Amino acid sequence: MTGVVVFAGALLMMTGLVNVFEGFIALFSDERLVITRENLIIVDVTVWGWIILIFGLLLIGVGACLLMAQTWARIASIVLVCLHAVTQVAWLGAYPVWGLLMIALDVLVLYALTARWTDVRGELGVGSGTEWSGQEAADLTAAERRRPPLS
C-alpha cells in the first residue's frame, strides 16, 4: 500500500468524523432563523443533518477499510467522495466556506486515490495485458506480496 493511499484513508476518516459531528449539530439544533429586509425565514436542516451524518459514517467505514488494504475500498471511496462532493455543491449556498473546504478535501482525496491508478490496475490484472518488468515487481512491498489474490 502506497503512502498516498494511507493519506487518503486517514483524510477520509477525518472528513467522515467532521461530517458526523456536523450532522449531529444539525440534528440537535435543526431550526435556523434567517432575517432579511423583506422576509423572516425559518429553515429546518434536519434532512441535511441526516445526509451529512450518513455520509460521515460511510466515509469513516470506507476509510478504515482503505487503511486495511481492502481492494474494493479504493473504488468505493472514489464513488463516495464524488457523491459527497456533489452534496457539498448542493449546500454551497447555505455554507459557502465550509462547502468549499469540503470540496477541496474531496478533490485532494480523489487525487490521492487515482494518482497511481495504473499500478492498481496492474495488481488487479486489468489493463493492457503487458507483463510486469523486474523493477515493478521489486517495487512491491513485502505486505503487498502477501495479500491474497482477488477471486
Cell of 138: 521489486
| For the chain, the helix, strand and coil percentages under 3-state DSSP, each to the nearest 5 | 70, 5, 25
- Is position 92 within any domain? yes
Coil/strand/helix, residue 120: helix
What does the alpha-carbon distance between residue 88 and residue 100 come to, in Å, rounded to a whole number?
8
- Is position 133 within any domain? no
Main-chain phi, psi angles of 141, to 5 degrees: -80, 165
- Is position 86 within any domain? yes
- Is position 127 within any domain? no
Containing structural domain, residue 31? 2-119
- Is position 61 within any domain? yes
The number of beta carbons lying within 10 Å of the beta carbon of residue 136 is 11
The residue written with cell numbers 500500500 in the block is 1
- Is position 132 within any domain? no
Say yes or no to pLDDT of 120 above 60: no
pLDDT > 70 fraction of the chain, expressed in percent and rounded: 68
Query: How does pLDDT run across 71-91, given as a tens digit for each residue?
Result: 888 889 999 999 989 988 887
- Is position 87 within any domain? yes
Position 105, amino acid: L
pLDDT band at 46 (very low <50, low <70, confident <90, very high): confident
pLDDT band at 30 (very low <50, low <70, confident <90, very high): low
- Is position 150 within any domain? no
pTM for the structure as a whole: 0.67
Q: How many domains does the chain have?
A: 1
